[in-house]
Amino acid sequence: MPEGDTVFRAARLLDRALSGKVLLVSDFRVPQLATVDLAGARVTTTVARGKHLLTRIATEDTSWTLHTHLKMEGAWRIHRDEERWSRPAHQARVVLGVAGASAVGYSLGIVELVETAAEDTVVGHLGPDLLGPDWDESEALRRIAAGPEREIGDALRDQTNLAGLGNMYVAELCFVSGVHPRRLAGEIDALPRMVRRGRQMLDLNKERAIQSTTGDLRERMRMWVYRRDRSPCRRCGTTIQVDQQGESGRERAIYFCPACQPAP
């Protein structure tokens, strides 16, 4: 599932391509919105909220927000007129056309349309956004501290605690902090520093398409532990391990070095 920095870049892509422009095409290819036509409306902005995208569209009567989520396979792409689409047409869930180009949302996991005044009904449950202008570290720490018995990997992935960290960043963040992902949140004295590092990781990567937490952009050198199970730790040479974490049906893979991140 895309991380917060990936969604941030998607929002910027849509904002630059659509904002201030009138929709010539409004094609929602999901059953619940199949009869909706916003052609003639003006796109005002697109913003990211954690892993959620909010595209605001103003009609004469009201302002609507198109709420989309990439989930595992989704992506937004901008195609110039006459340009071949990057994915098969049957994967398109939304097409927003303006003069000269179209924004196409492929394989989107969520497509909803709500009044902008009611945006909280779709994103109000989220914790502070690590890349948002209203980032609130103290509130994020308060929410994590409210569940001291939770394993830190689960607590950091929980978007109601803080929005933007996914499985990859949680694995990398735990490693660079020397914390096993199964450590209980209430036992970690360095939690404020972990949260700051998490924000720094996203902030550093939001400007580039190639994500790296090591500072090395070469393939196979970009990560410390994520998806490196059975490979040697870059610090100590111990074999990286992988396990599952989370409630049944919603498990996530956790990657760690048993030497650098001692088990609790």
Q: What pLDDT digit, counting tens, does each position of 182-220 carry? A: 999 999 999 999 999 999 999 999 999 899 999 999 999
* pLDDT for residue 249: 82
Q: How far apart are CA 19 and CA 98, in angstroms?
A: 10
9's CB contacts (< 8 A; 6+ apart) are: 206, 209
Confidence check: pLDDT of 153 > 80? yes
Catalytic residue, chosen from 3, 119, 151, 172, is 3
4-123 is a CATH 3.20.190.10 domain: yes
> Per residue in 104-150, pLDDT tens?
999 999 999 999 999 999 999 999 999 999 999 999 999 999 999 99
Rounded alpha-carbon distances, angstroms, from residue 248 to 132, 173, 241, 244, 252: 31, 24, 20, 10, 10
Confidence check: pLDDT of 1 > 80? no
Confidence of residue 98 (pLDDT cuts 50, 70, 90): very high
The mean of the pLDDT values for the chain is: 96
* pLDDT for residue 209: 85
The residue among 261, 223, 229, 264 whose CA lies nearest residue 243 is 229
Confidence of residue 248 (pLDDT cuts 50, 70, 90): confident
Catalytic residue, chosen from 56, 112, 252, 258, is 252
What would the mean pLDDT of 153-179 be, rounded to a whole number? 97
The model's pTM: 0.94
Clarify whether 51 is annotated catalytic: yes
Amino acid making up residue 256: F
Catalytic residue, chosen from 42, 51, 183, 199, is 51
Catalytic residue, chosen from 2, 119, 183, 199, is 2
Which overall architecture, per CATH, does domain 137-256 show? Orthogonal Bundle (1.10)
Domain boundaries, the chain: 4-123, 137-256
Confidence of residue 247 (pLDDT cuts 50, 70, 90): confident
DSSP secondary-structure letter at 121?
Answer: H
% of the chain beyond a pLDDT of 70: 100
DSSP secondary-structure letter at 51?
Answer: T
* Contact (CB, 8 A) for 207 and 175: no
* pLDDT for residue 186: 96
Amino acid making up residue 258: P
Clarify whether 71 is annotated catalytic: no
Clarify whether 73 is annotated catalytic: no
> Per residue in 38-82, pLDDT tens?
999 999 999 999 999 999 999 999 999 999 999 999 999 999 999
What would the mean pLDDT of 7-36 be, rounded to a whole number? 97
